[in-house]
Structure 1
Amino acid sequence: MYREEDFLQLSGIQHFVFCRRQWALSYIEMQWQENVRTAEGRILHEKAHDPSLKEKRGDLLIVRAMPVHSREMGVSGECDVVEFHKAPEGISLAGREGTYIAIPVEYKRGIPKTDDSDILQVTAQAMCLEEMLCCKIPRGYIYYGETKHRVEVIFTDEIREKVKNAFTEMHKYYEQRYTPKVKISKRCNACSLKDICVPVLNKRKSVSTYIDKMLSEKENE
């Protein structure tokens, strides 16, 4: 179990999966720059994260900006939206009649990604909710602003294991204050930290590596 002062930000898992260096620059070195994509995403989340907007629609209760945490994984954060659906197999909620099942809904500005960064983020939210509410959450959703459509995510054992492994690795880097080198790809062009990261410089061999190689070649002559 992690201490509260050692908790990492839950939302960081999305950045970590996208690029470990980007995550380290943002969450270890505390460097950040906003571009059009991050600005649009921030505006979308601000609308979803208004805690004053609680809705009750029949047997459905909608809670926004719900704080969550996990001592087992050592993370904390907020769910954009948690839907509580009335169901006989659910759990009791304070001040509410009946029992409910919890379903997290994460909001994203664009379209579904080719990697599983969004999936791991909403899965991590569900795992936090399960620990806090002592329940089982089988599925959740990701709402994409560009398509205006929500995608169902089934929280499989494989996805849950990926979440645990990612947070374990994140804690290791954070404790060591280690910023990984960049793995250059096409995604670098869309990264808000491109000017800080300067990925092209990481392609060049360091002076010390060059000297070591030259000395080794001399010794073998």
Structure 2
Amino acid sequence: MTYAEEDFLQLSGLQHFAFCRRQWALIHIEQQWRENLRTVEGDLFHRRAHDEQARERRGDVLILRGLSVVSLTLGISGKCDVVEFRADPGGVPIRGEEGLWLPFPIEYKRGAPKAHQADELQLCAQAMCLEEMLCCRIPEGALFYGETRRRTLVPFSKELRETVRGMLEEMHQLYRRGYTPKVRRSKSCSACSLQELCLPALMKERDVDAYLRQAMEVES
């Protein structure tokens, strides 16, 4: 199966979905958003990585930033923070460069490694897009965390790839339905930038759009 361009979802939404399906739906279906300190710091951290004009060469490593990627089979598009192309006889040709190069995607995160797999899933999806675009196989990538200032190696296992595909299929189904999942309260709710929009203590039965419509009707 392949997706039409108008049906593409944002690749970055996979991280939101893995963290909280409701958060993803509020952002990507209901178009709700609210900044907090974490989101602002994260945005600034990513801007430093996303210098699309930068093309850096370090020996046998070519570094590209803000590289746009897409997958027709997954139905997603987005950008990679950094992709290191390493000279490798099993790699692929790159325009303007001699030899063959194997991509190694790197995603930058403001905080520290997490207990859940949201970051790993987003990185794996980037690799799967690159594989489809470049007709190659990417075995691993890395997450760079701002707090630890070091890379965490991420192998792109069969299980991780299957989880990416399964989640994206579910995301497409929910998006087509325009459905926002109900609240499932957790410890993560207190750190979510959408807490005041999600209203986890109140929205067990109602969606945010209905709540906001009612609030506006009362005010008018």
Shared fold, TM over 0.5: yes
Partner of 1:149: 150
CA contact (8 A) 2:108 2:144 kept: yes
1:203 offset after TM fit, Å? 4.5
Change (3 A) 1:173 1:57: same
Is the 2:69–2:77 Cα contact (8 Å) retained in structure 1? yes
Deviation at 1:52, TM superposition (A): 1.3
What's the CA shift string for 1:28-64, capped at 9, x where partnerless? 0100001000001000100100111210011110000
Look at both structures and tell me which one has the larger radius of gyration over its CA atoms.
1
1:202 and 2:195 equivalent? no
Match of 2:67? 66
Matched, 1:116 2:117: yes
User: Take 2:194 and 2:75, find their aligned partners in 1: how far apart are those partners?
Assistant: 26
Q: In the alignment, what sits opposite 2:12?
A: 11
Equivalent-residue separation in structure 1 for 2:64 and 2:202 (angstroms): 45
- 1:159-188: CA deviations, max 9, x gaps? 000000000000000000000001101100
2:137 is matched with: 136
Shift of 1:204: 7.1
Question: Corresponding residue for 1:94?
Answer: 95
SS in 1 for 2:136: coil
Report 1:154-169 matches (<5 A): 154-169=155-170
1:202 is displaced (CA, Å) by 3.1
- Residue 173 of structure 1 aligns with an amino acid whose one-letter code is L
**Counterpart residue type for residue 118 of structure 1:** D
Is the contact between residue 182 and residue 204 of structure 2 (CA under 8 Å) also seen in structure 1? no
Gaps of 5+ in 1: 206-221
Match of 1:190 in 2: 191
Contact 2:144 2:150 in 1 (8 A): yes
Alignment length (residue pairs): 205
Separation in structure 2 between the aligned mates of residue 22 and residue 129 of structure 1, nearest angstrom: 27
- The aligned amino acid for 1:153 is V
Q: Distance in 2 between matches of 1:28 and 1:117?
A: 19
Q: Where do 5+ consecutive residues of structure 2 fail to align? A: 207-220
SS in 2 for 1:89: strand
SS in 1 for 2:116: coil
Distance between the aligned counterparts of 2:4 and 2:184, measured in 1?
32
Q: Measure the CA separation in 2 of the matches of 1:37 and 1:153.
A: 24
Partner Cα distance (1:144, 1:175) in 2: 34
SS in 1 for 2:201: helix
Residue matched to 1:173: 174
Letter of the 1:21 partner, please give it.
R
Counterpart secondary structure, 1:201 = coil
- SS of residue in 2 equivalent to 1:196: helix
The 10-residue stretch of structure 1 (86-95 or 131-140) with the greater mean CA deviation from structure 2? 86-95
Deviations 1:126-174 (A, max 9, x none): 0000000000000000000011011000000000000000000000000
Name 2:211's counterpart in structure 1: none
Partner of 1:51: 52
How far apart, in 2, do the equivalents of 1:59 and 1:73 lie?
31
Describe the superposition over 1:69-115 as per-residue Cα deviations: whole angstroms up to 9, x where unpaired: 00000000000000000011111111110111000000000000100
CA contact under 8 A between 2:33 and 2:194: conserved in structure 1? yes
